[in-house]
């Protein structure tokens, strides 16, 4: 008998015995399709290529350059980009990773990269001349820092920032925590922004509207989600999603509405909060982030739209402004899921002890007595006042008063803070913030504790036109 015939008979015998004993091949169970193929293709972000094989090091090349990008239908606009796209590439890391960014400037003007919200060392913060000068055309600078906290952060210039961010320079940095729950929903990172484009298709001048435009805060006429005008998503009905959102606009407040669908906010600037909060609408001021759970569609065939709603940040900024469609979400024909309960989501956050804390009081001010309007801190524009003194290990309680008829998103570089109520107690649920709204002719109070990272640190209004008009200051943290 030939060898092949022997092998065949042995296989038949083994298979037959297995079938008789009930141990034959099990019937295959179709895999859960999850989301339909390509469900988020119009929202996908290019990710930065990690050049380092070390699993604890993320090393990338980042180039600021002009590029022709299609924003409006059938038209290309020459914009300023990181790596050729709007937004720049998503940088993905995990808690504790070392991030190395080889930054190249191919733009005609000097620039920097500020890593908004990251608790890094002052020399890597990207504030010009503190201590490094801006990166000139043709030059390279390497940013090298560790990311100690989970959350969504972002990067943008800090030279002529209103113009450069308005031209397209911004991107997201997502720091993941391997210990967080994995079953919260299908994740999407969304960079919300806007851009001004002329009828000719050219980028709008950064000084459009003159001084009035600066005082008002310029908003582009094209509102973008991940660099696209009204992208579409086809999602499975009833299936929960986790949206990581950042407002990268230079002035626009994003007040989000999903046709009555609630947002369950589980985190913000500095990662997860102590417990979730549910709201019918979600407000993100410039520079702020949110981590939310949402079931955007419930029934196969249903379509819902995420919309921008005008938020009154003062002086008629919401008057007769219609909603803007941001994202169309269509339910696929897959069978609907039952999202179920989310369970316990949150983390323990230590309340900052404010006993004996140093009080700091500042006012956000406007001076129209001269030939031009000047914004400032305590009546003084940036660069004309000494920095606020602080020491490593010190706790301060800031009261930020708004003396203007515009709201201001306040941002502190390099440190997280906790918002306080009128009685000085930490607001619940607890969360770590680096950007928060100061209401029209109102005030905001927070506690901050300076960990061992001495240096000069900026704080400013994140309506970037206001920062350019002088609404910035410095904190000098000494050992």
Find the CATH number of the domain harbouring 139. 2.60.40.420
> 47 is in which domain, residue-wise?
41-176
61 and 153 co-located in one domain: yes
Same domain, 209 and 134: no
161 and 54, same structural domain?
yes
Report yes or no on 470 lying in a domain. yes
Within-domain flag for 438? yes
Residues 140 and 224 in one domain: no
Instruction: Tell me whether residue 8 is in a domain.
Output: no
Domains held by the chain: number: 3
Considering the domain architecture, whether residues 422 and 314 belong to the same structural domain is answered as no
Question: Residue 101 burial (CB < 10 Å; 0-12/13-18/19+)?
Answer: buried
Buried b (16+ CB within 10 A) or exposed e, 278-317: eeeebebbbbbbbbbbbbbbeeeeeebbbbbbbbebbeeb
What is d(CA 112, CA 61) in angstroms, rounded to the nearest whole number?
14
Do 473 and 364 lie in one domain? The reply is yes
Instruction: Residue 459: name the closest of 436, 479, 478 by CA.
Output: 436
Could you tell me if 60 and 156 lie in one domain? Answer: yes
Give the β-pairing of 443-449 and 388-391. Answer: unpaired
pLDDT string in tens for the chain (479-residue length): 434 443 344 334 333 333 333 444 444 445 566 999 999 999 999 999 999 999 999 999 999 999 999 998 888 999 999 999 999 999 999 999 999 999 999 999 999 999 999 999 999 999 999 999 999 999 999 999 999 999 999 999 999 999 999 999 999 999 999 999 888 999 999 999 999 999 999 999 999 999 999 999 999 999 999 999 999 999 999 999 999 999 999 999 999 999 999 999 999 999 999 999 999 999 999 999 999 999 999 999 999 999 999 999 998 899 999 999 999 999 999 999 998 888 889 999 999 999 999 999 999 999 988 888 999 999 999 989 899 999 999 999 999 999 999 999 999 999 999 999 999 999 999 999 999 999 999 999 999 999 999 999 999 999 999 999 999 999 999 99
């Amino acid at each position: 008998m030939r060898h092949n015939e022997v092998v065949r008979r042995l296989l038949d015998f083994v298979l037959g015995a297995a079938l008789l004993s009930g141990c034959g091949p099990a019937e295959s169970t179709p895999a859960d399709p999850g989301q339909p193929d390509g469900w988020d293709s119009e929202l996908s972000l290019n990710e930065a290529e990690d050049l380092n094989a070390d699993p604890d090091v993320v090393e990338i090349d980042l180039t600021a350059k002009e590029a022709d990008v299609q924003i409006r239908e059938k038209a290309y606009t020459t914009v300023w980009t990181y790596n050729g796209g709007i937004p720049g590439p998503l940088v993905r890391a995990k808690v504790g990773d070392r991030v190395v960014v080889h930054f190249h400037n191919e733009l005609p003007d000097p620039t920097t990269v500020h890593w908004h919200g990251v608790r890094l060392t002052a020399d890597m913060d990207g504030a010009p001349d503190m201590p490094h000068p801006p990166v000139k055309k043709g030059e390279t600078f390497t940013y090298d820092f560790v990311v100690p906290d989970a959350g969504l952060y972002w990067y943008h210039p800090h030279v002529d920032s209103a113009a450069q961010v308005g031209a397209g320079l911004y991107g997201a940095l997502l720091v993941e925590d391997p210990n967080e729950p994995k079953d919260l929903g299908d994740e999407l990172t969304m960079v919300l922004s806007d851009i001004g484009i002329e009828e000719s298709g050219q980028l709008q001048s950064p000084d459009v509207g003159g001084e009035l435009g600066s005082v008002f805060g310029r908003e582009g006429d094209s509102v973008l989600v991940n660099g696209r005008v009204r992208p579409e998503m086809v999602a499975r009905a009833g299936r929960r999603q986790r949206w990581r959102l950042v407002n990268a606009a230079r002035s626009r407040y994003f007040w989000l509405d999903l046709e009555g669908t609630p947002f369950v906010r589980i985190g913000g600037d500095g990662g997860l909060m102590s417990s979730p909060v549910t709201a019918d609408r979600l407000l993100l001021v410039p520079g702020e982030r949110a981590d939310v759970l949402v079931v955007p569609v419930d029934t196969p065939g249903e379509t819902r739209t995420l919309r921008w709603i005008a938020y009154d940040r003062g002086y008629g900024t919401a008057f007769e402004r219609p909603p803007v469609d941001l994202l169309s979400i269509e339910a696929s024909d897959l069978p609907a899921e039952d999202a179920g309960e989310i369970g316990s989501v949150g983390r323990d956050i230590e309340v900052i002890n404010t006993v004996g804390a140093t009080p700091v009081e500042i006012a956000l001010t406007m001076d129209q007595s001269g030939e031009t309007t000047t914004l400032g801190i305590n009546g003084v524009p940036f660069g004309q006042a000494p920095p606020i003194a602080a020491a490593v290990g010190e706790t301060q309680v800031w009261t930020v008063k708004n003396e203007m008829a515009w709201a201001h998103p306040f941002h502190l570089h390099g440190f997280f803070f906790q918002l306080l109520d009128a009685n000085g107690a930490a607001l619940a649920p607890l969360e770590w913030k680096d950007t928060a709204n100061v209401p029209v002719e109102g005030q905001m109070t927070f506690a901050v504790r300076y960990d061992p990272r001495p240096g000069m640190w900026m704080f400013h209004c994140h309506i970037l036109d206001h920062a350019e008009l002088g609404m910035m200051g410095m904190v000098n943290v000494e050992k």
